[in-house]
Amino acid sequence: MSKIEHNESDSILSSLRGKVFNQLQNDIINGKYQPGENLIETRLSEELGVSRTPIREALRQLELEGLVQSIPNKGVVVTGVSTKDIKDIYTIRTMIEGLAAKWAAEKITPEELVELKESLELEEFYTLRNDTSHVLKLDSKYHELIFKASKSRPLLFMLSTFHLYIQRARNISISSPGRAEQALLEHKAIFKAISEGDAEMAQILTTEHVKNASINLIKQINDKEDI
């Protein structure tokens, strides 16, 4: 095999590993595989139509992410994202997401501001139509645009990862009566502060927004656990 062919082979394998990892990660986060469930390489290989090698590599990466655990004599077991994990993530978000909004108000470009406004207008459109699926996507996009506008790569990576890991919980929260409408109002206030370059107010409003989301989410989780 030539060097070029070898490099192409490595590139294809790396891409396949990434696709398998992303698929399994999403399946765990979205609840297809429940905490305590065994992930068997041969079964996953058949389900995803790939060899066991990328499956094995993906499982190792998932263990580093804390989503699975390799247990002697039992194999790879799903740990998933626990209720405590979600509460911890919201506590951390409350502490740092305000900082992202503060920096966004200071550093956002005119083009980014237009994109943020368009995202907010679409969120309002789908909120009025009670389209939870689109609202959830646009809610995520709104926050991601603010993270990006903060111009901080570490902050962007951390907060985007948090949003990914709690997407099921956020779906529960945004679906609760009145929360989507309230979140929209809070987003509008944050946008006003950012567009006016009021960094301090953007930070205060965002911190309050995350606190409100946390209170609502924890209530929803507790209600479900009581059923």
DSSP state of 32: S
- Residue 2 predicted with pLDDT over 70: no
Q: Mark whether 35 and 135 lie in a shared domain.
A: no
Q: Mark whether 202 and 216 lie in a shared domain.
A: yes
- Which domain range does residue 135 map to? 83-226
State residue 73's pLDDT score.
83
Q: What is the CATH number of the domain that holds 16?
A: 1.10.10.10
Q: Mark whether 137 and 73 lie in a shared domain.
A: no
Output the CA angle 41-47-52, nearest 5 degrees.
Answer: 35
Sequence letter at residue 162: F
**Distance between CA atoms of 4 and 17, rounded to whole angstroms?**
20
pLDDT per position as a tens digit, 180-201: 999 999 999 999 999 999 999 9
**Distance between CA atoms of 105 and 101, rounded to whole angstroms?**
6
Q: Mark whether 120 and 57 lie in a shared domain.
A: no
Q: Mark whether 101 and 48 lie in a shared domain.
A: no
pLDDT per position as a tens digit, 38-75: 999 999 999 999 999 999 999 999 998 889 999 988 89
Q: Mark whether 53 and 90 lie in a shared domain.
A: no
Last residue of a domain, one of 58, 78, 98: 78
Q: Mark whether 43 and 88 lie in a shared domain.
A: no
Q: Mark whether 127 and 30 lie in a shared domain.
A: no
Q: Mark whether 106 and 194 lie in a shared domain.
A: yes
CA dihedral of residues 88, 92, 95, 98 (deg, nearest 10): -120
Counting other chains too, the contacts that 172-181 makes at CB distance below 8 Å and 24 or more residues apart are: 172/217, 172/220, 172/221, 172/224, 173/213, 173/216, 173/217, 173/220, 174/132, 174/135, 174/136, 174/139, 175/132, 176/216, 176/219, 176/220, 179/213, 179/216, 180/127, 180/130, 180/132, 180/135, 181/127
State residue 225's pLDDT score.
58
Last residue of a domain, one of 78, 99, 131: 78
Tokens of 196: 């006016």
Q: Mark whether 123 and 186 lie in a shared domain.
A: yes
- Indicate the average pLDDT of the chain: 87
Categorize the per-residue pLDDT at 224 as very low, low, confident or very high, splitting at 50, 70 and 90.
low
Q: Mark whether 54 and 8 lie in a shared domain.
A: yes
Q: Mark whether 222 and 144 lie in a shared domain.
A: yes
- Where do the H-state alpha helices sit in 51-131? 52-65, 83-107, 110-128
